[in-house]
């Protein structure tokens, strides 16, 4: 995931720049408004909040429901275990739409068996994506490709090929691809491969946290808002090089997916950091803003919940991070 040097990334991206721009087109061009705000919500982990009540309390647009994984073969299931229909996942997705929100289904993530690895080829992976899209009548999906799926050249090619097939079958579908990031931005290998293959998602989203390059005591002192904005600028530069975008178009096809509270690497991301990130996203016309996760958007209190599970690990008001990125005032 972090094997290319910055110089190597630049050379690789410059080699495919104008070719990718000529071939790859997103579904409907860059959006003309502020970012889509769709934080992650997991219904199989961490005492999940009720989504429509959270929408009313915070003004959030909707959620990225996480994650659709593999059941050990090329069969999509929630967390690799729960069926797509007949359970709480289906009811929650449909309830968010009925409440006027945007349900986004996210595939992949950092753990478990992924469709991107277990489906044998791009055709079968595309069929798995389309099955989920049809089941919920989705207008948007997110593919979070990290860990072993990101490191595997075979899985990367398969994912790009599958998303090209999905785009051809459903040209109006909004597609985001979420990737790991260094402080300087993503490595760019997947972006370069996608551009070379003629595929441009609507949004490339970086995850600028869990850098893991410093001792934990140093990580806790890092200015995470500054590191996040630096990573977003790095993403913009990669997109300019790979697709030939101008600045405004590159920003419109960029997204940020951060983490709230104390990360697994002991970085500390505060509500104030979220407000800085949100101002940047709105001011630069980014296409997507998310975080992991609303399950963690509450104080831990006296109960011994780990910060990676049901709470942020920080002193905060309930849903303070979600309100910070939506720009809504505290509600009684």
Residues acting as catalytic residues:
146
Q: Which residues contact 281 (CB under 8 A, 6 or more apart)?
A: 34, 35, 256, 289, 325
Distance CA 181, CA 162 (A): 23
Residue 72, token pair as written in the block: 């050990």
Distance CA 196, CA 186 (A): 17
CA triple 37-298-294, angle to 5 deg: 30
Distance CA 117, CA 148 (A): 8
- By the 10 Å C-beta count (0-12 exposed, 13-18 middle, 19+ buried), 303 is classed as exposed
Distance CA 262, CA 214 (A): 15
> What counts of helices (H) and strands (E) characterise the chain?
13, 12
Q: Mapping DSSP to helix (H, G, I), strand (E, B) and coil, where does residue 30 land?
A: coil
Residue 166, token pair as written in the block: 């999905």
CA-based nearest residue to 39, from 332, 284, 305, 278: 278
Contact 250, 17 (CB under 8 A): no
Looking at residue 19, the DSSP 8-state letter turns out to be H
CA triple 114-29-248, angle to 5 deg: 100
Contact 287, 253 (CB under 8 A): yes
Residue 98, token pair as written in the block: 């009925």
């Amino acid at each position: 995931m972090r094997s290319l040097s910055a110089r190597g990334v630049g050379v690789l991206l410059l080699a495919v720049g104008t070719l990718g721009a000529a071939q790859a087109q997103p579904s409907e061009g860059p959006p003309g408004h502020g970012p889509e705000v769709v934080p992650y919500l997991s219904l199989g982990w961490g005492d999940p909040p009720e989504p429509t009540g959270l929408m009313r309390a915070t003004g959030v647009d909707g959620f990225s429901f996480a994650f659709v994984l593999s059941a050990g073969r090329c069969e999509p299931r929630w967390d690799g275990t729960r069926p797509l229909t007949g359970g709480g996942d289906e009811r929650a997705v449909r309830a968010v739409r009925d409440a006027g929100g945007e349900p986004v289904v996210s595939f992949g993530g950092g753990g478990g068996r992924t469709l991107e690895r277990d489906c044998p080829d791009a055709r079968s992976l595309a069929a798995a994506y389309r099955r989920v899209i049809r089941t919920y009548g989705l207008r948007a999906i997110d593919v979070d490709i990290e860990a072993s799926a990101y490191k595997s050249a075979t899985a990367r090619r398969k994912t790009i090929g599958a998303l090209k097939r999905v785009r051809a079958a459903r040209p109006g579908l909004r597609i985001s691809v979420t990737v790991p990031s260094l402080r300087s931005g993503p490595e760019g290998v997947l972006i370069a491969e996608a551009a070379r293959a003629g595929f441009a998602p609507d949004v490339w989203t970086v995850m600028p946290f869990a850098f893991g390059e410093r001792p934990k005591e140093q990580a806790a002192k890092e200015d995470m808002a500054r590191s996040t904005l630096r990573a977003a600028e790095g993403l913009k530069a990669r997109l300019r090089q790979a697709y030939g975008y101008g600045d405004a178009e590159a920003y419109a096809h960029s997204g940020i997916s951060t983490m709230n509270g104390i990360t697994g690497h002991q970085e500390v991301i505060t509500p104030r950091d979220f407000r800085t990130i949100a101002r940047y996203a709105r001011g630069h016309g980014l296409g997507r803003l998310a975080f992991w996760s609303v399950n963690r958007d509450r104080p831990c209190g006296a109960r011994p919940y780990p910060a990676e599970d049901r709470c942020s690990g920080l002193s905060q008001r309930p849903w303070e991070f979600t309100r910070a990125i939506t720009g809504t005032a505290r509600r009684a």
